[in-house]
Structure 1
Amino acid sequence: MDVQDVLRLTRTEHIRLVRFLYCDNGGIIRGKATHTSKLLERMVAGIGQSLAMQAFSGMEQLVPVEGMGPIGEFRLIPDPETFTLLPYVPATASMFCDMVRLDGVPWEACPRTFLKRMIARLAEHGIRAEAGVEHEFYLARRDIGQFTPADQSLCYSSAGLDEQADYINALLEALEQQGISIELYHTELGPAQQELSVSNAPVLQAADTICLVRETVRGVARTFNLYASFAPKPFLDQAGSGAHIHFSLWDKGQPHKNLFFDPEERGGFSQVGRYFVGGLLAHMRGLMALTCACPNSYQRVQPRSWSGAYNVYGYDNREAAVRIPSLFKGREVLSANIELKCSDHSGNPYLALGGMIAAGLDGIQKRLDPGAPLEMDPANYSNEERELLGIRRLPTSLDEALNALEQDAVLREALGPLLLKSYLAVKWSEQAYFQDKTPEEEALSHFSKY
């Protein structure tokens, strides 16, 4: 789709507003909307934003970052390929944007540009990436300032699907209208907890889709007088919600060659794939600052919760940080992938996926072998046994993950000085804000934030 296609669709569909959207360092989807009478010039020149917006935290606080104050602007330049009508609001469409300096050069603090840089690094090695996400979220109602689950459905229960059938149907219809390919839908472990899986896509499109799914899930919920939350642990006594990332690498010169597939290796998983996993494990502690990016995340990442609390990998081991799924008969090449468990929707998807590429590519280049896969739940070992086996607990708090990111030379270099500085400033601010809050206050705050 190009600019003329966008203009034609806005006319034929009688669109009045087009949202120029982006995901910020706090993991919040923000933006401005232009009236379609000004759409052409806005698509060329962009919409102005204060440089300070990349120093704006999820707590609506402006964090001190040099060069990101009240002076100066960047431009939101939309990608026409991301244009979509929004079925849940009248006469409105949206596009996702890059942050561009006034001289037309991509701004170094732009998360979407960061992912593009990592995609280009892969391309230098003749590789492209695909990703898809299992989206977990809760449906709730609000009463006197408190959220309560919208039903009491059980894990995978058909009764739960019946309970929310009208909402589910409207949601899937809205996603289909936006061109999102849906794989699976089911109720999850918590009451009124849902899981939606979408198909793999090229990694930039996958990141855009993550944001679009979040917007659509919540937007459709409002039409049913429901609240949808992607918060990692919105109810402290219930299961957490993840954003499990399924990831694969492909040969750019041979489009149907999955670099993670090798029929001669265990589970059909290649040595290249093992090196990629080795890179993820080597950088996982810092990577979690990008994939589990809020204080509430660490209420979810706990042993025996299927959230990947230990820095290990395994074949179909859902307690490992990285799972190698078993292949599907007749779809062996297509289904070879890895699943990152320690990931949720508080993470900016452009940063999370770009960070995965940087870490995994480092593993490929350095031939980092991940060692033997773990064949059991790591929590079943004693502390002494885990120590002997080298099984290490992943960060148990955001500050621990942020410290690891600051010490990770590969991730620091990939992000670049300005993006790293602004991201860390925002996240340290959020960590400090919740330092003296109770877990209940923290959960309530994150419920509507995500």
Structure 2
Amino acid sequence: MRDRPGATKINKPDPDVRRILERAELEGIELIRFLYADHGGVTRGKAASRSRLAERLGTGIGHTVAMMAMNILDQLQEVEEMGPVGEVRIVPDPATFVPLPYAPGAAAMLSDLRLPDGSPWAACSRTFLKDAVAELASDGHHILAAFEPEFTLGRRLPDPAGGPDRLVPLDDTLCYAATGFDTAHDYTIKLMHALETQGLRVEHYHPELGPGQQEMSIRPAPALRAADNHVLYRETVRGVALRNQMWATLAPKPLADQAGNGAHLHLSLWSDTRNLFAEGSEVRDWFIGGLLAHLPALTALTCGSVNSFRRLGPRLWSSAYAVYGPDNREAAVRICSPLGESGEPNLELKPSDSSANPYLSLGAVIHAGLDGVRRRLDPGEPVGIDPDTVPGRYPRLPSSLDQALDALEADELLMEALGPLRRSAYLAVKRSESAAFAAKDPAYELFHHMRVF
């Protein structure tokens, strides 16, 4: 194909391109969504028509730089180099092409944000994770990871008193109760099929603690794929609900008096085919030491919203203290027991939820853990009790987004890893969200997080 005058060629010919074009034709795909995650944690994007797909796979779709300075209320923040002047391209990764089973006629690809000349843009979050993976590989390591998301299923209804819409949960069944399987059965079967169709292998499902709360976990994958999977997971959970006249939210705390929704991050560190988190491993302990050393700052990226800190409280099984321990579900870092002889040891980071940008979240975790390995940081003694039962003994995690952002600004390693443009934009966006919700009542906060995530 001859490029039209002025077109910018971004990608080199890719073996996946012909397959994508043929599949789009055969499956009647009309619109292909090019998706990315912004600094607010929102999945955004644009869509190419099938008739222009071949060209857009090469050029990407034009996009204003300002969108990476937008918060979750669609309020644009003043960030240098992210104003009305400037252009990036939403450039899809052909290897991520998936038809969307809950949206007939549509497909999606996860995308990078690049400059018009094709070079990486310093504010692209997917590139941040790619760079972290490359840094890890320089030491001969790679990560397998999976987010473990919870979400609340119900219906979005007008408030009789005239306030913001309310989320009315699907049921009021008990935690893990067998009746909970039945009330959500039709939805969960459709969700499982939709995830599997997109290549996200479902591991297990159960009704969770809060009214309408669900958990469906997927198998681990290499780091970039794991973050891509989480974007697709979030979109699928909500998309399947909407197609069935329901509403699903992965917001950390959509109902103030009920259980929160986490997205605990499970990960293991590998060298070739050897899991470095085996029991008694010094490397595992050093990695934990890095996580704990940077954990106050990490929470600004792994728990990326005002609403997140309603969930992170003592005795909520969500972690409120910067401690670790074997199978301690009140510890920020849990050493998980392998399942059976074939199970692989892994760590679970509990202060993590779906309001975070998964590329920034996982990338920052990699940088923190790698710092621990390189400096051989001692994590101290594991904690085998609920840390809240010994007041004042263990370090408390930040209790607000502002506290977490203060810790992030003071963390030289993570600030350096983020780089000048990305960190200035992220801090501006998140500070603005903190200020905006502080000026409103809790109902306003709960509604907007339920609506967005």
TM-score range, shorter chain: over 0.9
CA distance in 1, matches of 2:110, 2:30: 17
Structure 1: give runs of 5+ residues left out of the alignment: 262-267
The question of 1:445 aligning with 2:452 is answered no
Find the counterpart in structure 2 of residue 189 from structure 1.
Answer: 209
- Which among 178, 183, 187 is matched to residue 163 of structure 1? 183
Residue 57 of structure 1 pairs with residue 89 of structure 2:
no
Name the SS for the 1:2 alignment partner: helix
Which residue number corresponds to residue 418 of structure 1?
421
Taking the aligned partners of 1:319 and 1:8, their CA distance within structure 2 comes to 50
Shift of 1:239: 0.4
RMSD over aligned CA atoms reads: 0.9
TM-fit CA distance, 1:270:
1.3
What CA deviation, in whole Å up to 9, does each residue of 1:27-84 have, x standing for no partner? 0000000101000110100001000011011110110001101111000110011100
Verify the 8 A CA contact 1:269 1:336 in the aligned structure 2: no
User: Offset at 1:3?
Assistant: 1.1
2:289 alignment partner in structure 1 = 278
Aligned partner letter, 2:411: D
Counterpart in the other structure of 2:378: 369
Sequence identity of aligned pairs in percent?
52
The answer on 1:289 being equivalent to 2:306 is no
Q: TM-score, normalised by structure 2?
A: 0.94
TM-superposed deviation, 1:435: 1.2
CA distance in 1, matches of 2:391, 2:409: 31
Shift of 1:440: 2.5
The within-5 A match list for 1:258-407 is: 258-261=275-278, 268-332=279-343, 335-383=344-392, 386=393, 391-407=394-410
Runs in 1 of length 4+ with deviation above 4 angstroms?
none
SS at match of 1:196: strand
Instruction: Give 1:129's match in structure 2, choosing from 143, 156, 174.
Output: 143
Q: What corresponds to 2:90 in structure 1?
A: 76
Query: What is the Cα deviation at residue 157 of structure 1?
Result: 1.1
The number of residue pairs the alignment matches comes to 433
- Contact conserved, 1:434 with 1:442, CA < 8 A, in 2? yes
Shift of 1:150: 1.1
1:119-166 per-residue CA deviation (whole Å, 9 max, x = no partner) reads 000110010111011110000112222211111121111111101111
Deviations 1:162-217 (A, max 9, x none): 01111011111111111111111001100110011110000000000000000000
Alpha-carbon distance in structure 2 between the residues aligned to 1:329 and 1:228:
33
One-letter identity of the residue aligned with 1:319: E
- What is residue 220 of structure 1 aligned with on the other side? 240
Question: What is aligned with 1:109?
Answer: 123
SS of residue in 1 equivalent to 2:432: helix
Quick check: 1:409 aligned with 2:420? no
Match of 2:110 among 82, 85, 96: 96
Q: Give yes or no for the alignment of 1:11 onto 2:28.
A: no
C-alpha deviation, 1:269, in angstroms: 4.3
How far apart, CA to CA, are the structure 1 residues paired with 2:26 and 2:42?
A: 31
Query: Does the 8 A contact of 1:186 with 1:196 survive in 2?
Result: yes
Rounded to whole Å, the distance in 2 between the matches of 1:275 and 1:109 is: 30
In 1, Cα distance between the equivalents of 2:199 and 2:167? 32
Aligned residue runs from structure 1 range 27-66, under 5 A: 27-66=41-80
Instruction: Point out where structure 2 has 5 or more consecutive residues left out of the alignment.
Output: 1-14, 159-164
The farther-off stretch of 284-293 and 150-159 is 150-159
Please say if residues 280 and 356 of structure 1, whose CA atoms lie closer than 8 Å, have aligned partners that are also in contact: yes
CA distance in 2 between partners of 1:36 and 1:164 (Å): 35
